[in-house]
Structure 1
């Protein structure tokens, strides 16, 4: 059984390992239109296509910001997210991770934060520490491939940033050193560790320990193409009632010049953060260094610089002086875990977001907000978290603080679970279009690319381009504007026209309708995400009859919380499909489309087939004379377009095809994709 420490990190901990008094202690302690700005000092915060003065007059939609980091934590400790369990085959582990990345793409996210050093171990062949037990079930067990190299490659293939997440001091979720592999550094150097709260930790006060931890992190930084280095909130251990950290002798040896052990402990953590920042940027200037601290630094009742809250203070409890790190510029971003709802008296989401925004203001440090996706719709959570709109309300409030550059959601499995439809609502309200990652650093933007080909194919519009001059951009952004257009800088002022970012020089726009005339543009971005001016526009004229495909991952698809998501079948259309058990109620999943004119349309459906799926899945067509229902045997005929028939449809944008759950036959009903073609 697992639970979550109230109001703190919200990472799973085992009840049997924590004294009841500790839970009481923490529970006692813890009784809603502006696009995010890039880091201070970034090369002109001017979107592609015009000057700052020109763009200032451009109308923008706060729901489609130009730049916003959107990420989810993928936790490996205790197999929370990935791998789902130990001992999976290489192919199974890799398939699971690809599915997480595909989920991120589906949700228009652009980064993942993946735990690669959860318990003083490694998800890569580290010369410093053993292979993680969470891969094979045995610490030191070789998984048969290099997971970190694989994950970085797969993320970049989708132009998703990969931030490697390291837990600095935790050695084990138990306190028995004999259970560590024989050559574990914490076993070979018993003086480096202490036991506390039923767990083993490295002692932050020993300089050799700090050097060792930094070396372990830097091995990954220097050997892999990381976009970020990410520390979580575990510094000194969270307090456990009745226990004392066993570092008095270390303080006596190294604490000279400090008036008390508390200031010395804070300095130990400060040194780790400061030195890691220096070493990371010396090795690779573009790699961002960030920390995800506990949501409260200090309360205003304790320190006038603190927030109007009354919860546990990370400055005092775990010796994390996050405010100092921001003011000194020792981090590139901070992602406080503001895991409380709006209106929570002890730690109001709005109060804390405003405090962190004010703290990073004018520092050049970007603010990302750690969001509690795990709370939404979960049993035992406060009533506010049983409302589907709580998460989306958080992001709406963020718009009042331009310092908020994005959000990270804990954790991936909760994003996928989408309990009570909270994540779906948030995505619909805030992530309907892709977004560029906020720029950082002072490098000049690369030259404009040039489109060399734009042609219609059976799969849409195929684009190719070449880079500008001798530059070496990291990625490209593809924009599409309806009609044959003369370039307007306002096309690029927000994300409404952004189709995709890619790490290549070609892209196929599968959403282009045959009857649509479009103008395409491409921009180039360097590693810190500075964007070039746009290419010359390339017009692609309309051709052929109207035809549109709506996939379950598109904005035109809607389904209730009873519908799950799966990528199991290779016969799927796109990255995944939706499934649901039959019930004595319609509860349809709907495919919405814009029908250009009244007339006859051929409707086709795509679904993966399986012997266990439903033999009479009801498909509803909103025809001009009233709804028509066609039952489809989804046990066969999958992986291809299947014609439902030709129907008279009215003009307009509406739910055209639905998949109902109301059927007397057994097996999942499947909703994947529909194609509507004018005849």
Structure 2
């Protein structure tokens, strides 16, 4: 990804997109193959929630160059590198993302044992040094174990981040073939105008495609070098040799890049039709002042500056997806996020090319950024705007470390607003959807509900989607129209739903997805019963109770619950005694308290209840009505284990405050 001034980011429809039977319910997020006979009218009536889309790419860019993300530094052991990468995948799972875009060829080198190029210096610190394992094989295996797509990210032309060929390992192709390279702006590049160079780059990339089970090939925005003041690209001799038929060097340069894109598209899909091919170009193709087909912007034009005719690639169908780096805020006058999102949506419309937006996570809350990026809601508003454009099928975030940093809570806000449920990756092309699996068991266990299933045929689905519906409603395709009932995707044939409320009845369904992500019919539903109403008592003598040293213990009153109760003098400080409980699911709960009463106890004891919307305080006269359950009220509680009810000492009334027991009952 690029790092430049404010006007640049700081650091023929070939395949119709078909959704398969269930996926056709995903509210037109892609062109759909005809669903099962009779389903169309029913699907049209489905109410869908735009906050829980069925299909959406959610991805992290994991950059290797300069150790931006992974590995975090050179010289780490193989085990340390692997632990770091697993942590990135775990972050993606936590944030309900379904893909990672990992840089595997940052500077004409490799994160796999390539027969074409040396081991990357960003792994060990020494170009050509074996890291002791195969990183790409490891990354694919670990990503797929979590049902996360892995798109391998290649920088096509950059050879080195310095301009000294003597620093390259002696066996480096750019050193053995000095005529293939040029220096510009303090860096070394392969010359895009030499046909042998283009063939070599494609061969190097195709080695990874053919040998590894990657889900996509991803090129970034570096084509011809970004302009450097006072320098000219030194390719005049190459143009003289190969530029016949072109009126000027600029059209010839664009054609060189176009050939790389077109040929990569052909070679990837000839080898593996299911592998996605995508590019993340600079966010501005051309400005409308230069070209009426351009956007209402006034920044650098990638068509002219780096010879990337990204609009043509979409219109010719040479890419499966396009991920423009729209790294500017809403309202930025030079390049408004909304203007560019609308422009790219118009470009991809009716082409079959999917649009994923490159999002500038690195800017949110970062020092030195425009004040707009100090707003926690800036990024989430980008996705809200994207909902107005059905062509926007997902987002990719630069970069992983910034998603993890979550400055000013911007990522937490975005995930809460848009990623409350998992999502299936958008469909890549048409195919026969796999048959419905059969659920073989659905059993209540101590940790939730354990599910097992078997495939519906011998074709071997790539992954499965697990749905959970409250109660036992009649089978209805609308249950699967969006992701509100989707709880998991997995490549296994079993799963334990640890979020299941033990008191509630559910019906589970499982569907299968093949390599192009077409989804088949769901299985027959499998119901599990609940245990009845949830109710729990927490006594002061149990593990769910905590209190500070100023709380005494007594069994003086015969109205106590259990063996004893706790008491404390009132003070002008909270110092609460806490009752901790596990709430199985969000909902309405009645909370009751038990205390012994005495005329010398406190007439205005504050009970603090941690509700889903914030703490609420209820005062209780503990001089009366003791020795029984006293109703504090009905509260909306969030799921989880936490300090639920506190007895505060902060009261102006005289007399001991008492903490004895609470009872929580789901309504």
TM-score (normalised: structure 1)? 0.79
Asked whether the equivalents of residues 43 and 441 of structure 1 are also in contact (C-alpha less than 8 Å), the reply is no
SS of the residue 2:586 aligns to: strand
In 2: Cα distance, 1:506 partner to 1:82 partner:
31
Question: What does residue 653 of structure 1 align with?
Answer: 636
1:273 matches 2:261? yes
Residues 496 and 220 of structure 1: CA distance in aligned 2, closer, same or farther (over 3 Å): same
Cα drift, residue 585 of structure 1: 13
Alignment of 1:36-51 (within 5 A): 37=28, 39-40=30-31, 43-44=33-34, 51=39
Question: Which of 42, 54, 70 is 2:42 aligned to?
Answer: 54
Q: How does 1:466-545 map to 2 (within 5 A)?
A: 466-543=454-531
Partner of 2:356: 368
Aligned pair in 2 of structure 1 residues 649, 503: CA closer, same or farther (>3 Å)?
A: farther
Q: Is the 8 A contact 1:37 1:67 kept in 2?
A: no
Q: Which runs of 5+ in 2 are unaligned?
A: 12-24, 537-572, 576-580, 595-607, 620-628, 646-662
Residue 652 of structure 1: SS of its match in structure 2?
strand
Kept after mapping to 1: 8 A contact 2:589/2:665: no
Q: Which residue of 2 aligns with 1:569?
A: none
| 1:5-404 mapped onto 2 (5 Å cutoff) | 5-11=5-11, 37=28, 39-40=30-31, 43-44=33-34, 51-404=39-392
Contact conserved, 2:3 with 2:9, CA < 8 A, in 1?
no
1:671 matched residue in structure 2: none
Residue 638 of structure 1 corresponds to: none
Q: 1:234-280: CA deviations, max 9, x gaps?
A: 00000000001010000000000000000000000000000000000
Q: 1:601 to 1:219 in 2, by over 3 A?
A: farther
Indicate if the aligned counterparts of 1:341 and 1:385 stay in contact, CA closer than 8 A.
yes
Deviation at 1:654, TM superposition (A): 3.2
1:420 aligns with 2:401: no
1:406 aligns with 2:394: yes
Q: How much has 1:591 moved relative to structure 2?
A: 9.6
Distance change >3 Å, CA 598–CA 325, structure 1 → 2 = same
Q: Look up the match of 2:450.
A: 462
Alpha-carbon distance in 1 for matches of 2:58, 2:129: 33
Write out per-residue CA displacement over residues 166-188 of structure 1, whole angstroms, 9 at most, x where no aligned residue.
00000000000000001000000
Once residues 412 and 589 of structure 2 are traced to their aligned partners in structure 1, the CA distance between those partners, rounded to angstroms, is: 30
Provide closer, same or farther for how the CA distance between residues 141 and 236 of structure 1 changes in structure 2, counting only shifts above 3 A. same
Instruction: Decide whether the 8 Å contact of 2:592 with 2:633 is kept in 1.
Output: no
Q: Aligned with 2:361: secondary structure?
A: coil
Contact 1:36 1:68 in 2 (8 A): no
Q: Deviations over 1:108-147 (max 9, x none)?
A: 1000000000000000000000000111011111000000
Contact 1:50 1:533 in 2 (8 A): no
1:666 aligns to what?
Answer: none
Q: Is the 8 A contact 1:467 1:473 kept in 2?
A: yes
- Structure 1 residues 468 and 257: alpha-carbon distance in aligned structure 2, compared to 1, 3 A threshold: same
* Mapped partners of 1:547, 1:225: distance in 2: 49
Distance 1:236 1:648 in 2: 72
Following the alignment from structure 1 to structure 2, what is the Cα–Cα distance between the partners of residues 195 and 295? 26
| Residue in 2 that maps onto 1:598 | 590
Contact 2:27 2:48 survives alignment (8 Å): no
Inter-partner Cα distance in structure 2 for 1:678 and 1:62: 33
Whole-Å separation in 2 of the counterparts to 1:651 and 1:212: 69
Aligned residues of 1:545 and 1:677 also touching (Cα < 8 A): no
**Alignment partners' CA distance in 1, 2:467 and 2:68:** 37
For the residues of structure 1 that align with 2:298 and 2:616, how far apart are their CA atoms?
61
Partner deviation per Cα, 1:436-484 (whole Å, 9 max, x = no partner) = 1111211121111111100011110000111112221100000001112
Listed one character per residue, the Cα deviations across residues 596-647 of structure 1 (whole Å, up to 9, x for unaligned) are 5424699xxxxxxxxxxxxxxxxx863999489xxxxxxxxxxxxxxxxx99
Change (3 A) 1:243 1:463: same
CA deviations over 1:380-426 (Å, ceiling 9, x no partner):
11111110110000000011110111000000001011111111111
Q: Which runs of 5+ in 1 are unaligned?
A: 12-33, 549-583, 603-619, 629-645, 661-675
Give the conservation status (yes or no) of the 8 Å contact 2:434–2:457.
Answer: no
How many residues are paired up? Answer: 567
Pick which of 51-60 and 273-282 moved more. 51-60
State the shift of 1:546 in Å.
2.8
Distance 1:119 1:436 in 2: 32
- Asked if the contact 1:39–1:440 (Cα under 8 Å) also holds between the matched residues in 2, the reply is no
For residues 141 and 522 of structure 1, do their structure 2 counterparts lie closer, same or farther at Cα, with a shift above 3 Å needed? Answer: same
Distance between the aligned counterparts of 1:277 and 1:430, measured in 2?
A: 32
Please say if residues 38 and 366 of structure 1, whose CA atoms lie closer than 8 Å, have aligned partners that are also in contact. no
Partner of 1:451: 439
Is 1:82–1:97's contact at 8 Å kept on the other side of the alignment? Answer: yes
Shift in CA distance, 441/238, structure 1 to aligned 2, threshold 3 Å: same
Measured in 2, the distance between the counterparts of 1:180 and 1:49 equals 62
Alignment of 1:538-557 (within 5 A): 538-543=526-531, 546=534
CA 77–5 in structure 1, closer or farther in 2 if over 3 Å, else same: farther
Does the 8 A contact of 1:336 with 1:370 survive in 2? yes
TM alignment of 1:635-650, pairs within 5 A = 650=633
Contact 1:69 1:406 in 2 (8 A): yes
TM-fit CA distance, 1:533: 1.1
Residue 442 of structure 1 pairs with residue 430 of structure 2: yes
The 2-side partners of 1:140 and 1:51 are apart by: 57
- Give the secondary structure class of the aligned counterpart of 1:384: helix
